[in-house]
């Protein structure tokens, strides 16, 4: 008897065609290391032939889950995530889902502990800002599950995402400094292993090139997106023989650290050094001087990621798997005009 045309394939269908048990199919998709390579490849081939739908795997594996979503971040102390999580939670609660937050603190073994919650069916979907597939989650399973990436895209894997145009808005930030008469502009950015950091560096360099300004590698420093890192990087930059008159920082945490370094060096922000950040975190509007920055729609990023995850869990059609949201330049007190 033929399967009805409108019935979607299940793991049982895959098992029957591949000549294995349903449990073996489940293990191959969730714990591939427990299944030999030949069997894994056969199951993957059959799943592709049957056009096994990603959300079905998530639903079958998590049928008993407690209507919850896991948000996986690398550093919860970074204030960027507080508003994002608020937005995610507000959206989730409207659909009677709860939010669990996993802070890996950059430890790969800790990633696996949180991913096991997802693979073990204790949460329905995974939203992550890790910049890589966390330990315990392979590419095949990620693409067959309700997994959404935010901020940090993962190379070579087209997962549903919610991002901003980091290169465009970084270029806009540096152009703003150039329009204020600055010609020697430094950049304190994140590690180039991360998509966001690479894109913000690209925007910085594009702005210099567009204004026919030379690029000086001594004025660009890679570091962590943290206050202490911004402080140390700014100290290094300001000690150069020809220091900059302005610094574009790839996060507000970095910018606040850079501002403190300038002030501790008995210089003034913005009279001696102008500074622009990226994010518009909670301290940007209350620091002295207040911080000119690129505002990311952090609450909407969280809410949009939840909507994407729920669409996959509930088997709803997704019109746009890759959501790009708009930012805004917020002018405050950390930038002044510089006479050329």
Per-residue pLDDT tens for 64-96? 556 899 999 988 888 889 999 999 999 999 999
Instruction: Give the three-state DSSP class for 89.
Output: helix
**Higher local confidence (pLDDT), 120 or 201:** 201
Task: Look at residue 23 and tell me whether its pLDDT is greater than 80.
Answer: no
Strand partners, 322: 161
Please check whether residue 190 is in contact with residue 223, taking contact to mean a CB–CB distance below 8 angstroms: yes
pLDDT value at residue 54: 46
Question: In the numeric block, which tokens belong to residue 74?
Answer: 């690398």
Alpha carbon separation from 53 to 11, 12, 50, 144 (Å, rounded) = 10, 13, 9, 7
Per-residue pLDDT tens for 274-318? 999 999 999 999 999 999 999 999 999 999 999 999 998 887 888
Please check whether residue 205 is in contact with residue 250, taking contact to mean a CB–CB distance below 8 angstroms: no
The arithmetic mean of pLDDT across residues 133-161, rounded, is 88
pLDDT value at residue 75: 87
pLDDT value at residue 136: 84
Task: Look at residue 171 and tell me whether its pLDDT is greater than 80.
Answer: yes
Among 46-50, 146-150, 250-254, name the one with the lowest average pLDDT: 46-50
Percent of the chain at pLDDT exceeding 90: 63
Residues 6+ apart with CB under 8 A from 154: 131, 132, 133, 195
Sign of CA dihedral 149, 155, 159, 162: positive
Per-residue pLDDT tens for 202-254? 999 999 999 999 999 999 999 999 999 999 999 999 999 999 999 999 999 99
CA dist., res. 262 & res. 62, Å (int): 52
Question: In the numeric block, which tokens belong to residue 215?
Answer: 């690029």
* pTM greater than 0.85: no
pLDDT value at residue 1: 44
pLDDT value at residue 212: 98
Residues 6+ apart with CB under 8 A from 319: none
Residues 6+ apart with CB under 8 A from 93: none
Task: Look at residue 56 and tell me whether its pLDDT is greater than 70.
Answer: no
Task: Please name the residue that has the structure tokens 């808005």.
Answer: 169
DSSP string, 193-258: TSHHHHHHHHHHHHHHHHTTPPP-GGGEEE--SSHHHHHHHHHHHHTSSS--SEEEESSHHHHHHH
Among 146-160, 184-198, 258-272, name the one with the lowest average pLDDT: 146-160
The arithmetic mean of pLDDT across residues 179-190, rounded, is 98
pLDDT value at residue 313: 86
Give 176's Cβ-side CA count (13 Å radius).
24
Report the chain's mean pLDDT, rounded to a whole number. 89
Task: Look at residue 337 and tell me whether its pLDDT is greater than 60.
Answer: yes
pLDDT value at residue 324: 97
**Higher local confidence (pLDDT), 22 or 107:** 107
Sign of CA dihedral 28, 29, 30, 33: positive
Please check whether residue 262 is in contact with residue 234, taking contact to mean a CB–CB distance below 8 angstroms: yes
CA dist., res. 250 & res. 322, Å (int): 22
């Amino acid at each position: 008897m033929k399967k009805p045309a409108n019935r979607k394939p299940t793991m049982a269908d895959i098992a029957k065609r591949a000549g294995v048990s349903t449990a073996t199919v489940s293990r191959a998709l969730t714990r591939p290391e427990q299944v030999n390579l030949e069997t894994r490849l056969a199951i993957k081939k059959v799943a592709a032939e049957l056009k096994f739908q990603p959300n079905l795997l998530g639903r079958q594996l998590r049928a008993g889950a407690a209507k919850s979503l896991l948000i996986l971040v690398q550093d919860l102390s970074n204030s960027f995530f507080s508003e994002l999580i608020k937005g995610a939670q507000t959206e989730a609660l409207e659909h009677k889902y709860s939010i669990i937050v996993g802070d890996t603190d950059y430890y790969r073994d800790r990633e696996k502990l949180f991913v096991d919650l997802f693979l073990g069916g204790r949460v329905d979907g995974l939203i992550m800002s890790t910049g890589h597939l966390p330990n315990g989650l392979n590419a095949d399973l990620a693409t067959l599950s309700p997994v959404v990436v935010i901020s940090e895209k993962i190379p070579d894997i087209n997962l549903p995402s919610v991002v901003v145009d980091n290169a465009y808005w970084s270029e806009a930030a540096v152009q703003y400094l150039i329009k204020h008469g600055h010609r020697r502009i430094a950049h304190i950015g994140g590690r180039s292993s991360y998509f966001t950091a690479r894109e913000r560096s690209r925007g910085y360099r594009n702005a210099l090139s567009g204004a026919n300004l030379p690029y000086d590698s001594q004025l660009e420093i890679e570091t962590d997106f943290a206050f202490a890192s911004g402080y140390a990087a700014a100290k290094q930059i300001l000690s150069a023989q020809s220091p900059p008159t302005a610094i574009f920082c790839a996060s507000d945490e970095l910018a606040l650290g850079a501002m403190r370094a300038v002030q501790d060096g008995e210089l003034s922000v913005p009279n001696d050094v102008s500074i622009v950040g990226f994010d518009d975190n909670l301290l940007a509007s209350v620091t002295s001087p207040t911080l000119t920055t690129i505002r990311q729609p952090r609450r909407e990023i969280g809410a949009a990621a939840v909507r994407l995850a729920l669409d996959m869990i509930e088997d709803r059609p997704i019109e746009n798997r890759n959501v790009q949201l708009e930012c805004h330049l917020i002018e405050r007190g950390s930038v002044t005009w510089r006479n050329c």
